[in-house]
Amino acid sequence: LAKTTQPISMDSYEGQEVNITCSHNNIATNDYITWYQQFPSQGPRFIIQGYKTKVTNEVASLFIPADRKSSTLSLPRVSLSDTAVYYCLVGTRTGFQKLVFGTGTRLLVSP
Amino acid sequence: NAGVTQTPKFRVLKTGQSMTLLCAQDMNHEYMYWYRQDPGMGLRLIHYSVGEGTTAKGEVPDGYNVSRLKKQNFLLGLESAAPSQTSVYFCASSYLQGSETQYFGPGTRLLVL
């Protein structure tokens, strides 16, 4: 399983753009990069998934450089409700693989 | 469409007691998972199932048993609860395998005294 490394915590203010970077130096050719969001007292929720370059949805953007050894989750114009823990996971979509949730990045958005 | 539901939401047990946590999903997913989350930590996989009638061990299976008699249900059992099993338990399901999107339930908070 590809190990991931992300910052333990980040602080931001409302309206700012937040970028959370995840390192995954040992990513395999078939691995995808997936980000989950977890609010207190709730289960994690899927945010975005990508394989290379850039992926964008209504919630976030995911930037993946050509070497795929890292990825950046970008949250545009965060609000207080974006305060949560964000997990970066790496895994293949073919063949069962037990996903490993690390400790994630705790994002605190202040007014 | 309720998604993934878990029963109960909260439970207090005494050491040595047994209980079963129920997870149900209405999305016709093949894959189901049980995780535990301790304070300040990420989720750790306890057991998982790749289809009705099948189960497999995850990262931290000791002290737990599971059953998947029906496709929509995944049960987690504690035969003899220990204080170390105090945790929040999350169930999840996914349509495909691997890193396909997992849908999580709201969690069960368990306190073992």
Which domains occur in chain B, in start order?
A: 4-112 (2.60.40.10)
- Out of A34, A41, A103, the one facing B99 most closely (by C-beta) is A34
Give residue A103's pLDDT.
81
Inter-chain CB proximity B102 and A104 less than 8 Å = no
A17 in a structural domain: yes
Q: What is the CATH number of the domain that holds A100?
A: 2.60.40.10
> What residues make up the domain containing A39?
9-110
Can you spell out the DSSP letters for A64-105? E-TT-SEEEEEESS--GGG-EEEEEEEEESSS---------E
Residue from B43, B46, B60 to probe the interface with A (highest A Cβ count within 10 Å): B43
Domain count, chain A: 1
Inter-chain CB proximity B98 and A102 less than 8 Å = no
pLDDT tens per residue, range A29-76? 888 899 999 998 899 999 999 999 999 999 999 999 999 999 999 999
pLDDT per residue of chain B (113 residues) written in tens, 0 to 9: 779 999 999 999 999 999 999 999 999 999 999 999 998 778 888 999 989 999 999 889 999 999 999 999 999 999 999 999 999 999 999 887 666 788 999 999 999 99
A50 in a structural domain: yes
pLDDT tens per residue, range A12-42? 999 999 999 999 998 888 888 999 999 988 9
What span, in angstroms and rounded, lies between the C-alpha atoms of B94 and B103? 6
